[in-house]
Amino acid sequence: MTHIDRSQVWTGDLNDLALAGRSVGTPRFYDTTLRDGEQSVGTSFDPDQKLEIAQLLDGLGVGRIEAGFPRVSEEDRIAIRSILDAGLKAEIWGFSRALVEDVQAVLDLGMRHAVIEAPVSDRKLSALSVSREAVLERVAKAIAFATGNGVKVAFFGVDCSRGDLGFLERIYKTARDAGASEFAIVDTLGIATPEAVTYLIGNVRGWFGPDVPLHFHGHNDFGLGTACAVAAASAGAAWIHGTIDGIGERAGNANLPEIAAALELLYKVETGIRLDRVRAASQRLREIAGYQLEPWKSVVGRNLFVRETGAVAAQFHIPEAIEPYSSTLLDTPRGIVLGKKSGIASIKLKCEELKLTPAPESYPRLLEDVKQFAIRKRGLLTDEEFRSLVERAQD
């Protein structure tokens, strides 16, 4: 674990004033990149890749890694077994539907921790042609079988954010009575507002008291995944579920590095996540899974500490004027790029970076050349293209 150097966080006093007298919990992180993340369209990890990803997650400091769903395939069982044998610091969790056969697959691998899921909203139950009474029976039977065989169970109510509160109370208490010791509040379709997450966690907390660990599992269909996760932490969730980069179905899952950065840098909550490693982990996951991110993506986007605009480049030597926190916290460099929006300061900084020494009086001409080149190209100049312009200006 690394401690944040608060002198490198430049967010001002507003958040402290707004949060005065309010406490935010210190949740741990439960990563489901290997299971829910793999459900992203077109994504498939082989066993070696799953082991590598698990090792990346362990290096980030997540407390729990959901290694997968054993009944999916033999390949998944091989991957889970290799992760279990890797000696990672994180707890390794399995995933199971509320079916004895699924639980048996978890037991066959020697797993001691498992999420057991069941649909809990009437929409989901109707789609699966399962009655409320039938799902209650399945939950009780599967969880009792798991806990009777020494497995620690977290009950995971699929689509509970659209469920009837009365039935939610009944099925979650059924899970508790069968032996579940932890409970996940699940916003399967990402429809909950942060206020709704707070409300729902408050209700579940009322059913079980203050000491039972609650989880929050959110998705990002309305772009609120991080906000809802922060709300869950504020409401007392002990575990926040998510994935690296938010990889997952539809608009993806809650983004664990983004949530960790928000909690660490805005709420001053120690999460145990190594922020200085998240960009490398994101890059490697993208290479494995074959996806790209918006360059302006928070925490891991390539544009985060890169400047093109001349007015901003003129302040580049004062990072706290143009950035909310230091790039050193993410172990990443800052940089200047040249394009249509560059200014004289951009030219000067790029020349210093490339150790070019044109006469200062040539800067205005170089700037005009850069702008015209970028307009023709409809993009940024490479360093080699800029070198050529400098050489031409010196002829």
Are 255 and 316 within one domain?
A: no
Whole-model pTM: value is 0.93
So what's the pLDDT on residue 22?
86
Does residue 299 fall inside a structural domain?
no
Does residue 225 fall inside a structural domain?
yes
Instruction: Render pLDDT for 231-248 as a digit per residue (tens, 0 to 9).
Output: 999 999 999 999 999 999
Are 275 and 342 within one domain?
A: no
* For residue 283, pLDDT beyond 80: yes
Are 282 and 312 within one domain?
A: no
Are 225 and 122 within one domain?
A: yes
pLDDT > 70 fraction of the chain, expressed in percent and rounded: 99
Domain end (from 258, 289, 320):
289
* 372 SS3 class: helix
* For residue 336, pLDDT beyond 90: yes
Are 252 and 313 within one domain?
A: no
Are 146 and 200 within one domain?
A: yes
Does residue 162 fall inside a structural domain?
yes
So what's the pLDDT on residue 67?
97
* For residue 1, pLDDT beyond 60: no
Question: Left (φ > 0), alpha (ψ -120 to 50) or beta: where does 250 sit?
Answer: left
Are 126 and 256 within one domain?
A: yes
Question: Which domain covers residue 49, as residue numbers?
Answer: 6-289
So what's the pLDDT on residue 135?
98
* For residue 345, pLDDT beyond 60: yes
Predicted confidence band of residue 21 (pLDDT cuts 50, 70, 90): confident
Amino acid at 97: R
Place of tokens 């999460």: 271
Mean pLDDT of 204-209: 96
Q: How many alpha carbons lie under 13 Å from residue 389 in its C-beta half-sphere?
A: 24
Does residue 297 fall inside a structural domain?
no
Does residue 67 fall inside a structural domain?
yes
Does residue 296 fall inside a structural domain?
no
- Residues 115, 130: Cα–Cα separation, whole Å: 20
Are 228 and 359 within one domain?
A: no
So what's the pLDDT on residue 2?
61
Mean pLDDT of the chain: 96
Domain count, the chain: 2
Instruction: Render pLDDT for 22-64 as a digit per residue (tens, 0 to 9).
Output: 888 899 999 999 999 999 999 999 999 999 999 999 999 999 9
Are 233 and 348 within one domain?
A: no
Are 329 and 228 within one domain?
A: no
Are 173 and 313 within one domain?
A: no
Are 14 and 79 within one domain?
A: yes
